[in-house]
Chain A
Amino acid sequence: MNKVKGVEKKGYAKYGFVIFFVSIGIVWMLGDMLAGFLLGYDPFDPRAHTEVIARAKTLLFIFSSAFIGVCTYLTYLLFLKGLSLEKQGLLDIFATPPKNNPQPIEPFKKTIPDEVPTVSVEKSVSTSQVSQEEDTTEVLVDHESVLSPQQLTILYDNSPVPYFVMDDSGNVRSANKATMRFFSATPEDFQVANLYTLISNMHRNDSAHAVALLVSKVQRGVSISEEEVTFKTYKDEERIALMSIYSIDRGNVEIPFRHLVALHDVTKDREAEEIKTDFLLLASHQLRTPTTTIKWYVDYMLDTKSFQLNEDAKGCLQEIYTANKRMMDLVSTLLTVSRIEMGTLAPEYAQVSLGAVAEDVFEELASDIGKKKIVVTKNIPKESDALTDKTMVRIIIHNLLTNAIKYTHEGGVVQLDINDKGMSRLIVVKDSGCGIPVAEQSRIFSKMFRASNARKMSAQGTGLGLFMTKMFVEKLGGTLSFESLEGKGTIFTITLPRVAPDA
């Protein structure tokens, strides 16, 4: 408490000096005049200054200084900080100092020192209804510490984090203001509140079981850290929070409200996530439906002989088909990228034969390879399994091979090797293509970036392929590197762990 006073005074120190010097001046004059008046001489007559008078003046000076000093301090207390001090209990300096009674809480100080603030919070909150003499929190407060129990109470009460304490059966006490706001409740509502009845849903499949598990954990005093829980407020709204519970070890002493519950409101975050997901769903449904309609109508017109289309019309339809296909690919790429960024793209692990995936991709790209008369070399071992995500691996290999083919001139060479390197599989894609200019090499994995020579070679491209490839490789615990010489070719090297770290 002494510390606190020190802190309070510090801010007003400059005023203190002014008051001090002004006081001296006033007191000197007052002393002179008062002495003159009392002793019957003219204070402005230098002859009157005898030794006796000088002594009397000094005495009067000291008394008046003390009087004015006390008055100044009291004025300061009452008018500048008076109200708030009273509220904060800092005027306790005038009350009897708290006694050091080693009361029930003493044992906990020794057993779990980490929990000391919790104890004092709980105690000091409850002591607001109890008389000062029973205040045992002093025992637990380290006098070296900055926090007094009263300050702790203020912090607890006004903290933006919802806090309350509860007993083993979930009965809630001492809910702070943030808790009231969280539950849209009044202090009256919380006089009979029970945590378990406020829970509307635990974020698990089996909600009843989850609540039962929570109750048993609380009773055993097991700490709970950031468990996601949906609560029903007093206005019947749902609110989602990460709930943490810290409990004091009961020991031999009965201490009913021994659990401190803290909530972290994540309702807004969850809503935002939901909106993002809804947007993705909307995008996927609303964009993919029309593109599918176009595709199937073109299919239908090309396949239906009764239309008797001439070759020219068929060629036009084919153009529509190709353009539409590009749009569909773009939509699905954009969706994948959004999913990566939202972190909702979780890999599904299975044994995947990298060789088989590569063969499959080559098959898909066979017509492009044929058109450009590209010479393909494949070195795929018999055994090339890895526990990884097949869709992602396919996209990785697909992107690297399409790039290799797209940016290699007619009659060029594309080579794919799958090897082992320690506990990893190595996928190397080599081409004799246009290469990547040195100045642009550092940017090739950024989103929407396309190298200048790549843009010249092919107008098509989103600049998302390598970005996605890198994201996937990293997600699967692998690494991605490349060497490139402009005009000569590029080598991409990927390592993928045989067992993905998260699998």
Chain B
Amino acid sequence: MHRALEGSYRRGELQEICRRYVAYRKWMNHLVYAWPNWVTRLPDWVTLEGDEHLRAASERGKGALLLSGHAFGFAAFVTPVLAQLGYGVSRTGRGRRVDQVTRWGKAENYERWGYINYGEDCWNRAQALNEMRQALKANQIVHTSIRGFPRGDPRLQIDFCYKDFFLDHRLIRIIEIMQVSVLPCFAICDNQGRLIVKIYPPVAPAGEEVMRVFGSLYARYLREVPELTRIWRRVVQQQEGW
């Protein structure tokens, strides 16, 4: 983290960001394993802001795509929490490996959510994209996250810890093809460890508009709470494909 951020923050600030990052990772892991304990007391542990945008999207009858930053904050809990609150919701992912949150979610005591698996080959991906489209047509919510890369389309560039960072042009294109309403969504926590899921007003399904609204929001979160992103090593190494 020092290598990624040095020159951008003073030494004391950097140390504080590093401390908060360690706390975030430990808390994230704890929340995953403790899900069965706190899911039964959701109102004590989660504040959902902007759910009126979800309800409005539902009333329009065309579903909504919740869009988060990849590997940022507590996004992994957005789908389980919304399912528990009664929303018909799916999330996208790759591979058959189910994480702890997904396993708890499939337990009979909890509300289920859908899992759209991008799979390994082009046919799997095409099927997954069509599944996503069908879910949205059926007025469901789909939660997905957008990845970033060290190289890309200059129009999709955002500030990221003072490094080059380009959002995934493929997801932007998918949004434009599906013509789905995009609701930016970020999950952070307060200083007591309680989750805050923030859902923002809908963004028109056009690349420029997504970048103007979502891109600005994402950049702001990265600037204000840099400790909530989990891709430091990739940033430093400028790995292809992160």
Q: Do A and B come from one complex?
A: no
Which chain A residues have a beta carbon within 8 Å of chain B's beta carbons?
A: none
Which chain B residues have a beta carbon within 8 Å of chain A's beta carbons?
A: none
